[in-house]
Structure 1
Amino acid sequence: MALVGKQALLVYAHQSPGSFNAAAKDVAVDVLTAQGCTVTVSDLYAMKFKAAATAEDIISEGGVKRAENFSYAEETKVAWEEGKLSADITAEQHKLSAADLIIFQFPMYWFSLPAILKGWIDRVLVLGYAYSKEKRYSQGIFKEKKAMLSFTTGSQESMFSAHGINGDMNVTLWPIQNGILHYCGFQVLAPQIFWAPAHVPQEDRAAMLQAWRGRLEGLPGEAPLSFTPMDCFDGENGFQLKPEVQEKHAGEKFGLTVGTHMGLAVPPDNQMRAAI
């Protein structure tokens, strides 16, 4: 994906303009712009983006359809179809629809996303707009777009290993990269992980940013992470792997992916780098 003439959206979630995350965001803006890409930044804290998904997200004189049994997914689907979602959601959807590349820049909180970023996902990626029963995973709505996570940790890399106290980072990332990004069809690029920048010398932080700069310059040539295609699952049988797929891989040392591993060993780095 050559970046000349493309559009990128950076969804940025950090409170401080002096943070390492802010510096990583600025590097991305500089490098992508230099490559001819139009870059838009959604600075969620500066925008005071509302994290909670509530009935107030629907603008309708008659109110929600079923107030006594409110379903956010179903109500926002109808509101999206009728053009009655709140202005902040609609603005972010317009940015996302225009983007070819989306980078989420954030500090990892409690092995996951900051609440304000999770709120962006909850409120922007609504049913109908971002996914449907028919259009998800490898057949998803955003299958022509690329997305990636870029984040800082508070723990050292060794602590997020298969033998580390925090557990394997590949397992930690599966719900986000598969359950959110791949679910909506995105081609998911390997994450950019800045390991514990607050606990290393300044020269190490500078080296991290320089490596990020180098990666961004080569981003057009990167292959996305591998996920098992939807047509490998039997929709008539609870979306289980088809028998022929199970038979084909039963003798392998590792499973297909971190989540769909068939009782075999979890494949190493399945969520952290593309297969060669």
Structure 2
Amino acid sequence: MLDIALAILASALIAYNNSVIVAGPMISIGVRRIFARLASGFSIALGALILGSAMRSSIACGSEAAIEAYISVILPTLLSTYFSIPFSASIGLIGASIGEGLSKGALDPLWLAQVSLLWLLSGVFLIMISLSLYIALRRILSLLQGQIWILGFSRIITTVISILSGILLGANTLGFLSSLECHRLLLPIAIGGLVAAIPSPALLEGVFRWFSVRHLSITSIGLSIVLAISIATYLGLPLSHTYALVFSLIGYSIASGVSMFSRRSILRLARTWIYSLAVGIGVTFILALIT
């Protein structure tokens, strides 16, 4: 029972914290908040339930490994949510997998190399695809200048992309969480994802409000995130939505000339990701040694 309770709590906190990436774009273009939140929760839960099993289980997967991983991400995610800061659960869970593998001498070097290469290439891919999509869509919009119908059409596209993003968030991040226990608790973890439907404070929605009249930006950023996470999920490897969002925004900044990040903010984000990885490794390693 303890493992089920921790699995639901961990998935609920992760879904609630990261759901702004799903609901934020819809809210920013005028979709009613209640619909955006419901679409967020149900898409995340559906993605976990249907596609979560696509995520590879490590050779060290099992009940003990999962409980240690749940504990290693619950507190950081809870604190991040309280302070309205997005927490990269995927990074914390990767750290938990590494810590578990190190403690038992069962670290899978091939899996670690594949994940590291995926994240490195994804950063470059996200910048390039976001930049290219922005330029292509800007040219299309310039040809359709003055035609109001395109705004209504872009709202539909943005809503569809956001729901796809939610499905992939459930499939990749919650699926990765489920893989730590060999997918035995996939159903409770998917149920935890429904918490994303609960109305929340502005949790990062300000970033998306800045794009409220920039449907072009929302579309290019959303599409690049969906493409990157789709590839990662197909490969069965974890990739953070927060990471994908940041690198998509960098690509947008290069293409549009509008700077979204200062050097200090980029360093702060990198430091947060390093801390998340260290917490995942440290907590899981210590718990594994104790138990």
What TM-score do the two structures reach when normalised by structure 1?
A: 0.23
Structure with higher Rg: it is 1
Q: Larger RCO: Structure 1 or Structure 2 (Cα < 8 Å, ≥ 6 residues apart)?
A: 2
Which structure's residues are more often strand, by fraction?
A: 1
Give the structure with the higher percent helix.
2
Q: What TM-score comes out, normalization by structure 2 length?
A: 0.22
